[in-house]
Structure 1
Amino acid sequence: MKNIEVSIIISTYNQPLWLEKVLWSYEAQTFRNFEVIIADDGSKQPTFDLIDTMKALVTFPIIHVWHEDKGFQKSQILNKGIKACNSDYILMSDGDCIARKDFVEIHADRKEKGYFLSGGYFMLPMNISNEITKENILDQSCFDVKWLKGKGLKSSFKNNKLTASGFKSKVLNAITPTNASWNGHNASGWKEDIEAINGFDERMQYGGQDRELGERLFNSGIRSKQIRYSAVCLHLDHPRGYKTPESIAKNKGIRAVTASEKKVWTDFGIIQS
């Protein structure tokens, strides 16, 4: 078996229709030396059935990491996903983010010791999210602004995420006011760096647990590079029933301690005493 160059962790929870579209987008990748780890926060049988079907249809290895549904425990399942990775470089995205064909190639080409890479996403409305087919993903028409406008997409500066390339994308990456933070839908870094800070803080539920991981990476001396106009993924729409004021407030408190104490390690991560 050849050495896997990139391990891609995709988080999911009971969204098999969206996950299917996402997995087809990895079949379209120009860079091929990767594996996909599906970090499943307690999905039911339809997701299991989809993964079994897709394993037989795609050309990349799929590892399904699952735990019992105990509410929103994404940090826990991501830590299990990290342990399952067979590569020393990890790319993280979500089961609602369709990756453009050069997505993995950009991350693989730009990886650098001492850094993590920070990408963004292009948010789609529900009607377009529903309309995208396997064929649209494999022929990449769903990334074509003209095609999207034909489905009702409005003109916006954000459309540059889909059209920028070469020098223009470099300029936009350089001038964007958006911080190059660790974004769970589109970020990558070295497994040893993530393990050195003990992964995600499992006390954290919805709201910034990915940013907090990035903040501890910064505290450990790792820097970040902005690639939001280079590594492109389409974010499919969905409701967020797990977003609560309580979880947001709790996570803000944890992040405040991480910042004030310049924390590197969490006692509530991959390794727990």
Structure 2
Amino acid sequence: MSNEKPESIGVVVTTYNSPDWLHKVLVGYECQTDTDFKVLIADDGSDQSTAAVVEQFKKAGKLNIQHFWHEDKGFRKTIILNKVIAETDCDYLIFTDGDCIPRNDFIAVHRAEAGKGRFLSGGYVKLSMPVSERISDDDIQEQLIFSKNWLVRHGQPSSFKLSKLIRHKVWVAVLNSITPTKATWNGMNSSGWRQDLLSINGFDERMQYGGLDREMGERLLNKGIESKQIRYSAICLHLDHPRGYSKPEIWEFNNALRQKVKAENISWTDYGIVKSNDS
């Protein structure tokens, strides 16, 4: 296992018609201690209100932002993600969502933990809607929202899950090593080498909401790419939102596809970046 570090990092931020949440997330990226990265907005057909937020942050000049967009034809997250993978010049990609505010060491941790032949599986804390709505730019800039006491004081239910906010290095290492959660590819907080993603043909574009990220991670594992747990090291806060795009029949299709990938040790999809009928 090589500890070779990335030369160029891109943060792939998926979004769809959630400009207020995207604003908070981009403020979080303005606060990073490691500033050498690009923000790659993977926009699944949002209207002009999202474009306006992106332009606002471009003009502020703190972030290097590229906005990838396609027409709204329903849930096509995998397609816009594959477009980003295919067109970016970054050699290492961190994948997250436009409702996940990163802690200020988010980029630094992913860079430090990156290594050839592996992908990283980070952690997140799901916030309640009242807390999600309460968060201001100042709260993000001052990193108050990554304090357990601050969150609980503002209405977040207290639970063991808030232990992910611990920053003591020894405890973080212990918790990463003993967590029973597998190091899977999670769309909210995972990273890997662009070349590894190309080697499995990216995301399977037949998949809609429900396990699409896990499926790609399972193909990476089948390819021989290892996974590393950084659940307590790389942290983001997940803002609450409704999930109207979750449908039982789609879950059924996705689960069947994932079972086939596991049973047959499949690493390549014919429905990814390169289509089977491409020359």
Common topology (TM > 0.5):
yes
Partner of 1:202: 205
Partner of 1:13: 16
Partner Cα separation in structure 2 for residue 121 and residue 206 of structure 1:
19
1:261 and 2:264 correspond: yes
| Cα drift, residue 4 of structure 1 | 5.9
| Partner deviation per Cα, 1:216-254 (whole Å, 9 max, x = no partner) | 000000000000100000000000000000110110011
Contact 1:37 1:84 in 2 (8 A): no
- Structure 2: tracts of 5 or more residues without a match: 1-5
Counterpart amino acid of 2:51? F
Partner of 1:108: 111
Partner of 1:97: 100
| Cα drift, residue 20 of structure 1 | 0.4
Partner Cα separation in structure 2 for residue 251 and residue 243 of structure 1:
12
| Cα drift, residue 164 of structure 1 | 4.1
Contact 1:116 1:225 in 2 (8 A): yes
Instruction: Give aligned pairs, total.
Output: 271
**Identical amino acids, percent of aligned pairs:** 52
Partner Cα separation in structure 1 for residue 168 and residue 234 of structure 2:
10
The alignment partner of 1:120 has SS state of strand
Partner Cα separation in structure 1 for residue 7 and residue 230 of structure 2:
23
Partner of 2:3: none
The alignment partner of 1:121 has SS state of strand
Partner of 1:30: 33
| Cα drift, residue 88 of structure 1 | 0.6
| Cα drift, residue 257 of structure 1 | 1.1
1:136 and 2:136 correspond: no
Contact 1:40 1:64 in 2 (8 A): yes
Contact 1:10 1:93 in 2 (8 A): yes
Partner of 2:152: 149
Partner of 1:64: 67
| Structure 2 length-normalised TM | 0.95
- Structure 1: tracts of 5 or more residues without a match: none
The alignment partner of 2:234 has SS state of coil
Partner Cα separation in structure 2 for residue 108 and residue 259 of structure 1:
29
- Which segment drifts farther, 93-102 or 142-151? 142-151
Counterpart amino acid of 1:40? D
| Cα drift, residue 154 of structure 1 | 2.4
| Structure 1 length-normalised TM | 0.97
Partner of 1:159: 162
Match of 1:124 among 124, 127, 135: 127
The alignment partner of 2:112 has SS state of helix
Contact 2:123 2:233 in 1 (8 A): no
Contact 1:24 1:137 in 2 (8 A): yes
List structure 1 segments (4+ residues) > 4 angstroms apart after TM superposition: none
Partner Cα separation in structure 2 for residue 67 and residue 165 of structure 1:
42
Partner Cα separation in structure 2 for residue 201 and residue 79 of structure 1:
9
